[in-house]
Each structure stands twice: as C-alpha cells, then as structure tokens.
Structure 1
Amino acid sequence: MSKRVVLLANNIDELGGAQRVVQVLAGGLASRGYDVTIVGVEPLGERTAHVASTYQVERLLETPYPKQAGAELDSLRAGALRKLQAILDAGEPGILVTAQVWAMEHALDCDLVGWRTIGQFHSSIEAAAFGKDLDRILRAYRDVDQFLALTSVDAMRFTQAGLNNASWLPNPLAQWPSEVANPQSRTVTYLGRLSAEKAPMTLMQAWRIICEQGRLGDWNLNIIGSGPHDVQIQAAMTDLPRVQLLAPVADPYVALKETGILAVPSLIEGLPLVLMEALAIGVPAVASDCSAGVRELLDEGRCGLLVNRGDAAALASGLCELAENDELRARLGRQGREHMLAYERERILDQWEQLFESVNR
C-alpha cells in the first residue's frame, strides 16, 4: 500500500474548523511514516506558519480568487488545476483526502487515475442543506471511494440522500491537555467565529436576561473571536456588565484553562472542535441542541446541558443552572474529560489507518 497522502482543503490558513483538523491529521499521519502533503486552494489572510512541519505544505494560488466570474477567475483556476495536477504527479499515486466540497470540485477536474479518494464534510447534513451545499456534496462525492460524515446519524442521512459510499469518522483532538481547567473559574467563555450561524447575539441576549435577573454577579463573560458580528457584539456590550470581547487565540487551551463554562449557542454545527477541547480539559458546556455531533459530544447531557437553539431564555437558564451548582459543574467536567478519551488523536488515527487499508483493497 502506498504511504503517500495528499490532504486538500479550501485553505490551510484558518485557525479553526476543517483547517485545524487537516493540520492535526497531517502531523499525526506523518509521525506514523506517511509521506504527507497538505494543499490549500487559496490563501486566506495571514499565512499560517507550519513551523518545523513533518509534512509538505502547498498552496495552489498566491492570491484569492476574484469575487466576480470572468477571464481572470478562469485563468487563475486553470493555473490552480495545473499546480494541483503537478503535486499529484510528483510521486506515486496514494490517497487523496478532500476536507471540503469546494476543494473536491477542483480535484474532480484533475486526472486522479491510481488515486484512492476520500471526501469529507465537516458539519451536519442539516448545515449542508441550510447553506445550500447539499446538492454540491451529492454531485462532488458520489464517486469517491469513501465519503465521511462526522457522526453515524449524519452518515445515515447522507445515505438516505443518495450517497451510497457514506460512512463516518469523528475529528480528533489536536492534543490531550495534561491538566484540567481551573475549577474556581467564574468565567463563561464563547470561543469561535462571530457570525450568524454561531449565534453569539443569542448569548448576549441570554447574558442580558441573567443580569436583569440579578444572577451570576460574580461571573464574567468572555467573547473570544472575530467575524461579521463584531460591531453588533460591541454595541450590545455597552450597557452590559462583566463582558469582554477578546481577539482569537491560536491555542484554545490558553483560554479554556481559565474557563468555568463553555457557551455554544450555535444554530448549526457539525462536531465542534472547541466543544471537544473544552470537555477534554474538564470544562462543562451549555450548548444549543443543534446537531447530532453536539448531542454525541455532550453524551445526551452527561457532559453538559442541552438547550433549545435560538432560545436566549433557555440559554440563560442553562448557564445559571450550571454556574450556581459547583457540584454539578465538577461532575459534568469529570465526565466530559473521560468521554473525550474516545476522540484522542492516536485513537482516531488508528481508525484512519484502518480506512486506508479498506479503500486500498
């Protein structure tokens, strides 16, 4: 079996999401003797420095695609495809893993003879339908050797939608924290993109309800992230006490180790890595019931509280229930850390190697 693996993503510069997973997989597979290359279609903002990497890093474009269709976009895409083909042809065929559907749409225009292909979607099927990506996913991934969803529930639903090659494999934790979070912390943390689907404004509304009720006076709220809702968050903060808006962090554990409760108010999610990391460090969560992945991570309530999505009052109630009960918070934190052992990197890498053997048969 070839030990060559190419991991293709929309970009490889974002701090979170599929990009972090690609980097974790690349480092893990390289440590097991695989010849790994990660490829980003286009750059995004400042380039992530892959310092002392044990894998190769490539970008198909030096500048992002233009927003409008036209000759410039066509020319850039043709150049991107030539570079991708050159990367694929630089050694013997192996396994191509496409982390996102747009990246797969580029790979489909290349000669993939001899390659085994694995396609991924890093969110729920509901998110795919909400974002109008479902039809694209069904087209792009119908002929790959294996399509991977994040949960068994999503794999079943993708199969029902027409992908007969669907299976599932959860994302791994980037690292296992050796110490647990500060159990005395009185901080509620939101850690993620400030955008509509993540619903940070629902959390701000919940915090307003809590403050108006005169509860959690010794607790703070940290909003860590950036995105299109920056201005709305800043405006909402002006008359709310004990709220900070902080810049994104490269290492989430830096923020999580001083967190008492993680808030996940999202409207749609897949298998949120930040929730996995919080549970691994012993931080319980209050999360909206927005995906099979969230339910699996919280183990149907053993590792945190599930509340109705988009419901600020329910979110406020859940935060108060957890913040005002030290014993409950400690118990859910212990159970969450234990539950996350199943997502430890080496265990997930074992499953990837089994998958590689399967698609090469």
Structure 2
Amino acid sequence: MRIRYLLLHAYGMGGTIRTVFNQASAMAAAGHDVEIVSVVRRRTKPQFPLDPRVRISTLVDQRDGYGPDSLFRRIRRKLRGRVVPSDEFAARYFTERVERATIDAVASLDGGILVTTRPALNIIGARFAPRHVVHVAQEHMNLATHKPDTRQQIIKYYPRCDAVVVLTNTDREEYRKVLPGTRIERIPNATPLAGRKPCDPDSKIVIAAGRLYKQKGFDLLIPAFAQVVAAHPDWRLRIFGTGPRQQRLQEQIDELGLTEHVKLMGRSDTFDEELAKSSMFVLSSRFEGLPMVMIEAMAHALPVVSFDCPTGPADVITHEKDGLLVPPRDIDALAQAMIRAIEDPDLRKRLGAAARETVRAYTPEVVMPQWESLFADLLATKGATAPVR
C-alpha cells in the first residue's frame, strides 16, 4: 500500500507527531510505501526516531522565517472565506501561503491512502482530496475540546472522509452521535513495550511530562505537590517539557517555596531513562485525547495518578487496578492520591505491575494490524488501487 501521512509540523514536538512517526515506521517495516508530508518545517532534523525507509517532504520551509505574509496572520484570521477554521488550535500556522500550499498538495494526489492528523488538515482533505484517493482523518482530541467553528466544520465536512479514526471508545460514541452514517473507527495509539526498563520502586521522584500549556494542568499539579511536600519533604517532582508557560510555572514554584522540590526539566533526549528513575507518574491535564506519555510511563511499570479528565485516562486506567483516578481539576484529591501512593509502597508496586500488563494492548504488534486491516478494507470498498511493495 502507498500511504501518505499529512502532519502540520513533522519536525516539532508533541504526542501526535510521535504517534504518526511510530505508525509510519511500523507501516514501512511491514513493507508499505510510506511518506510523511510536513506542511511546515521550522527545524533541520526531526525530534523523534523514524524508520529510514519513510520519506519526509515539506510543503513550506520556514527555517529562515515565516515569510512576509506571516505579518498579516491576525488580519487573515478574521477574514471570511478561509478553509481552516479561525478557532482551530493551530490556525496561526495557516497563513494564506501555507493554506494554499496544503490545498494544492492534497488536490494533486494521484492515488493511494491519505491520512490527515488534525482538524485543519482533516477538513482540507475532506474538501479537496480527489475522489479516487482513500482519505482517513485521524482525531487526536475529543469532540468537546474543539471550539465552535471547528466543531461546526467537523460536522459539515467529516462525512466526506472514507473513515474517521479516534483514540478511545468514548470518542467513538461522541463522533457517531454527530456524524451518523460516517465510518468512525477506534484505533489507539501504539507504544513499544520491549526494552522498557521497569521503574525504581524505591525512588522518591514523581514525574510528569507534556508541553507547558494550560491544557496540561501543571499549574494545578504544582500546588497539589506542595501538599505532598508538607507531608513528605524528601520527595521531588520533575516536570519535563517546554512551552510558553515556563516562566509562569517557575514563578508559581518560587512563590510556593518549592524551588528545591519541583524542577522544570525542559525536554530530554533520554526520557525513557528518566521514567525508569521514577516511582510515580502524574497526569494533571484539563483534557486529553489519548495521553501517550501516560501509556509510556505505564510501560515502565509506573503507577499513575491522574485527573479523570475528558478523555483518555479512564479509557486506559481502571481505578484501583492499574492507577488512581481523581475528579478533574481537584487539587486536593490529586494531592491525597499522591500521598496515598507514597505512603503505600505495596500499592505502588501492585498498580505498576498491572499497568505494564494493561499497555500490552497498545503495542505495535496489536495496533498496527488494525490499521492495515482498515486501509485494505477501504481500498477494496472504494475500488481504489495502490502500489504494493
């Protein structure tokens, strides 16, 4: 099969990029002809490993700057007639030049399978992909998370896709309600289990990770950990990630007197090793799709304490079996769950061991055949043809 993945920024960081790289690598390893098309490029090298058989191409190279039209992005966002909804989370990337290049690239496809990976790209694919191209739209966020204009265009245009693939059963039911008659499939993200070193159960390190955005809720985690420190001053929290809220979070750490207890670690090239050095993972997100970093932590037999936010955590974790779920945004409950796990080493070990078993359902060996089966069925159903290697 000939498969093209369309990513906004294949050279950036983030769970969607990492997930697509994993998918593309697995498909290439299975013998398929795979390409990743990056809408924009702002770095020289990809940030995640990729099978060398996967080709990467770029539509708009922005390594020397975003171009003169970027000066008018705010004005253009207010204009009617744009394809990308103005309230799509990545709308700022879609200058007139970028949007036009994306539309032209999609419209010129000559066959095979197109996999788009966020609402802006899904909508462009639905509107402009040739009819003989099999178009699969990936949704990495739950429907309720999208803002009104984006949600309206999802409802209008997603029915044109050959399939919409979501990450959780909850998502599947929500999308089916608003897209009756559209093929909605649930295929989770995959993460390898082999080679993951088990965590250190005697460590006094709690770990969290994600982009330093409001979504990830680190502003809720930090005061929760202040309660942990009051009860267990020898424990430490390490937050990995970069983003625009770094200074604000550091100020919060300083104001709470947690400078010696909470560290913003930035990005790490050895994150797997950092997970293995820890004894607990905490997810403090306000909302999620399917949190890959949480699944990776579980693969290291790390017990997880998480907000039961929409969606993701409860689709993976069974409370008290392989993790602890607390009400969304409840800082006190998050603190008490961490303290409970700290004070009960046997609980941590039991939850961690069960977590490692749970994530066996998310390994490439389980997930990738689901993608191959879907692609093959869509090709057969549509009567399309694609080169096979």
Same fold? TM cut 0.5: yes
Match of 1:346 in 2: 365
Asked if 1:278 is matched to 2:297, the reply is: yes
Q: Flag the 1:303–1:51 CA change in 2: closer, same or farther, 3 A.
A: closer
Counterparts of 1:26-105 in structure 2 under 5 Å? 26-45=24-43, 47-48=45-46, 53-63=52-62, 64=66, 66=70, 67-69=73-75, 73-86=95-108, 88-89=109-110, 93-105=111-123
Alpha-carbon distance in 1 for matches of 2:150, 2:337:
32
Look up the SS of the partner of 1:28 in the other structure. Answer: helix
Asked if 1:265 is matched to 2:284, the reply is: yes
Report if aligned partners of 1:207, 1:316 keep a CA contact under 8 Å in 2. yes
- Amino acid in the other structure paired with 2:31: G
Asked if 1:220 is matched to 2:236, the reply is: yes
- Amino acid in the other structure paired with 2:352: G
Alpha-carbon distance in 1 for matches of 2:193, 2:53:
16
- Amino acid in the other structure paired with 1:82: D
Alpha-carbon distance in 1 for matches of 2:373, 2:22:
17
Look up the SS of the partner of 1:303 in the other structure. Answer: coil
Match of 2:378 in 1: 359
Look up the SS of the partner of 1:41 in the other structure. Answer: strand
The CA deviation at 1:296 is: 2.0
Q: Flag the 1:185–1:349 CA change in 2: closer, same or farther, 3 A.
A: same
Report if aligned partners of 2:8, 2:38 keep a CA contact under 8 Å in 1. yes
Report if aligned partners of 2:40, 2:98 keep a CA contact under 8 Å in 1. no
- Amino acid in the other structure paired with 2:316: L
Match of 2:323 in 1: 304
Alpha-carbon distance in 1 for matches of 2:172, 2:98:
34
Structural RMSD (CA): 2.2
Residues 112-160 of structure 1, C-alpha deviations (whole Å, 9 max, x = no match): 232111111102223235x863223223321111111111121111111
Report if aligned partners of 2:23, 2:368 keep a CA contact under 8 Å in 1. yes
- Amino acid in the other structure paired with 1:204: I
- Amino acid in the other structure paired with 1:300: H
Alpha-carbon distance in 2 for matches of 1:299, 1:216:
27
The CA deviation at 1:291 is: 2.4
Q: Flag the 1:206–1:132 CA change in 2: closer, same or farther, 3 A.
A: farther
The CA deviation at 1:68 is: 3.3
Report if aligned partners of 2:42, 2:61 keep a CA contact under 8 Å in 1. no
Alpha-carbon distance in 2 for matches of 1:158, 1:231:
37
Count residues in correspondence.
352
Counterparts of 1:118-197 in structure 2 under 5 Å? 118-129=136-147, 133-164=150-181, 165-174=183-192, 176-197=194-215
The CA deviation at 1:45 is: 4.9
Report if aligned partners of 1:24, 1:174 keep a CA contact under 8 Å in 2. no
The CA deviation at 1:292 is: 4.0
Look up the SS of the partner of 1:68 in the other structure. Answer: helix
Gaps of 5+ in 1: none
Alpha-carbon distance in 2 for matches of 1:76, 1:19:
19
Look up the SS of the partner of 2:74 in the other structure. Answer: coil
- Amino acid in the other structure paired with 2:237: L
Q: Is 147-156 or 158-167 further displaced after alignment?
A: 158-167
Match of 1:5 in 2: 3
Identity value in percent: 26
Match of 2:18 in 1: 20
The CA deviation at 1:80 is: 3.9
Asked if 1:229 is matched to 2:245, the reply is: yes
Look up the SS of the partner of 1:133 in the other structure. Answer: helix
Alpha-carbon distance in 2 for matches of 1:291, 1:176:
29
Residues 196-219 of structure 1, C-alpha deviations (whole Å, 9 max, x = no match): 1111010111012223xx312221
Match of 1:245 in 2: 264
TM-score by length of 1: 0.91
Alpha-carbon distance in 1 for matches of 2:74, 2:58:
21
- Amino acid in the other structure paired with 1:78: R
Match of 1:316 in 2: 335
Look up the SS of the partner of 1:11 in the other structure. Answer: coil
Q: Flag the 1:82–1:40 CA change in 2: closer, same or farther, 3 A.
A: same
Match of 2:89 in 1: none
Q: Flag the 1:301–1:357 CA change in 2: closer, same or farther, 3 A.
A: farther
Alpha-carbon distance in 1 for matches of 2:129, 2:118:
19
Alpha-carbon distance in 2 for matches of 1:107, 1:119:
8
Q: Flag the 1:46–1:163 CA change in 2: closer, same or farther, 3 A.
A: farther
